[in-house]
Amino acid sequence: SIISIKKKDPSTLSRWILKEQQKYPKAKGDLTVLLNSVQLACKIIANAAKGAGIYNLYGITGEENKSGDIVKKLDTFSNESMINCISFTGTVPIMASEEAENSIIVPNCDQPKYCVVFDPLDGSSNIDANVSIGTIFGIYRIEDPKKPQDSDLLQKGEKLVCSGYAMYGHSTMLVLTFGDEVNGFTLDPQIGEFILTHRRIQIPEKGSIYSINEGNAKDFDKVVTTFIHRCKNPTKGSPKKARYIGSMVADIHRTLLYGGIFMYPATKDSPNGKLRLLYELNPLAFIVEAAGGKASTGSAPILSLQPTSLHQRQPCFFGSKADVEEIEALYASTT
Ligand code: AHM
Ligand code: MG
């Protein structure tokens, strides 16, 4: 007799990645292996973040990283977990991490094919307050497998093969794109699997939230000041709501689901803003654009920028298409 099958499909992240890659008959499974390794690192970091108090991973080590931020123990642990899990795939000879000044070279990589950029634990200033933090990653193909070099890491964001983030919040989520669609997976801690819960995420066309560290307001340029004024004093309709977590992964995650705009603009003292192009902006821009939103410098797509150094910063505007286009129009009218 025919068994009736319930139509709910509990796809795990592993099955989903495998299925996606099987669409390419020539794929050898290397990207599948790499993504499974990143997935494992994210599970390890999620577990450590949850138990950080218990296992004494909190607390400042006293060191500073390349970008001048205080490094906490959980950052170091997350960095090592990412490097370790990725190294053993045998296909990644070079990577860049927020926590490492120079590129990380993997010795004895037998089948060089990809390089990875990542921020192992973004939003780390929030750790002690138990606020959501995350891991951001981007994967590129290396140009010459015989000669992996820094220029492989310095590719434009539009060349990304895949990018994603894990967010360690009330529940742990992993959001992933190959550039066509964006899918979100939620970790079921009982079985230790990421399950597809957010199929084809689409960012609302226009949002009712603006997100920016307004503490810097005295140092914003005229356009950002005007835009914020408009958010609060619209000519028609209600003012936008202000929401700012201070953890980019969480602010972008909310923006993806609810719409609106996230901004980290230039200030007088930091003309390049704060956020890093390679491993913070590009991977998240690839996701926002694939979800139908926009990621902009104010005048150009983030993904079109040619990076010149591993830790360079870039002012940015991410979010619903209409909101980002509004700020782009303001910049266009002032130049
Ligand atoms: P981090 O990589 O040291 O954690 O810094 C990046 C974080 C982002 O997650 C967040 O968007 C931003 O810094 C917040 O900066 P600020 O405290 O200046 O608002
Ligand atoms: Mg960071």
Residue 137's alpha-carbon distances to 38, 54, 213, in angstroms, are 9, 27, 24
pLDDT of residue 134: 97
Q: Please state the pTM of the whole predicted model.
A: 0.93
Mean pLDDT calculated for residue range 236-240: 95
Q: How many whole angstroms from 6 Cα to the centroid of ligand 1? A: 44
Q: Is 207 in the pocket of ligand 1 (CB under 6 A)?
A: no
What is the tens place of the pLDDT at every residue in 144-164? 998 999 999 999 999 999 999
CB count, 10 Å around CB of 108? 7
Mean pLDDT calculated for residue range 126-144: 92
The one-letter code for the residue type at 31 is L
When pLDDT is cut at 50, 70 and 90, the band that residue 10 belongs to is: confident
Q: Is 69 in the pocket of ligand 1 (CB under 6 A)?
A: yes
305 neighbors 277 (Cβ within 8 angstroms): yes
Ligand 1 nearest atom to the CA of residue 134, by list position: 9
Q: How many whole angstroms from 131 Cα to the centroid of ligand 2? A: 14
Percent of all residues in the chain with a pLDDT value above 70, rounded to a whole number: 92
Closest residue (by CA) to atom 15 of ligand 1?
Answer: 246
Percent of all residues in the chain with a pLDDT value above 90, rounded to a whole number: 80
Q: Which helix (H) or strand (E) holds 153?
A: helix 150-153
What is the tens place of the pLDDT at every residue in 97-132? 999 999 999 998 999 999 999 999 999 888 878 889
Mean pLDDT calculated for residue range 43-58: 74
pLDDT > 90? residue 297? yes
Average pLDDT along the chain: 92
When pLDDT is cut at 50, 70 and 90, the band that residue 27 belongs to is: confident
pLDDT of residue 1: 66
Mean pLDDT calculated for residue range 270-279: 97
Positions annotated as catalytic residues are: 69, 75, 98-99, 119, 121-122, 280
Q: How many whole angstroms from 245 Cα to the centroid of ligand 1? A: 9
φ, ψ (nearest 5 deg) of residue 32: -60, -45
Q: How many whole angstroms from 132 Cα to the centroid of ligand 2? A: 13
Ligand 1 nearest atom to the CA of residue 133, by list position: 9
Q: Please choose, from the candidates 166, 95, 98, 174, the residue with its C-alpha nearest in 3D space to the C-alpha of residue 135.
A: 166
φ, ψ (nearest 5 deg) of residue 301: -65, 135
Burial class (CB in 10 A: 0-12, 13-18, 19+), 335: exposed
Q: Is 273 in the pocket of ligand 1 (CB under 6 A)?
A: no
pLDDT of residue 8: 76
Mean pLDDT calculated for residue range 38-54: 86
CA pair distance 106, 85, nearest whole angstrom: 12
When pLDDT is cut at 50, 70 and 90, the band that residue 73 belongs to is: confident
What is the tens place of the pLDDT at every residue in 156-188? 999 999 999 999 998 999 999 999 999 999 999
When pLDDT is cut at 50, 70 and 90, the band that residue 255 belongs to is: very high
- As residues whose CB is below 5 A from the ion ligand 2, the structure lists 119, 122
Mean pLDDT calculated for residue range 85-99: 97
pLDDT of residue 53: 57
pLDDT of residue 327: 97
Burial 23-33 (b: 16+ CB within 10 A, else e): eeeeeeebbbe
The ipTM is: 0.95
CA pair distance 126, 286, nearest whole angstrom: 25
pLDDT of residue 63: 62
Closest residue (by CA) to atom 18 of ligand 1?
Answer: 213
CA pair distance 167, 244, nearest whole angstrom: 16
Tell me which of 72, 126, 274 to substitute to probe ligand 1's pocket, judged by most ligand atoms within 8 Å of the beta carbon: 274
- All residues at 6 or more sequence positions from 88 whose CB lies less than 8 Å from its CB, including other chains: 37
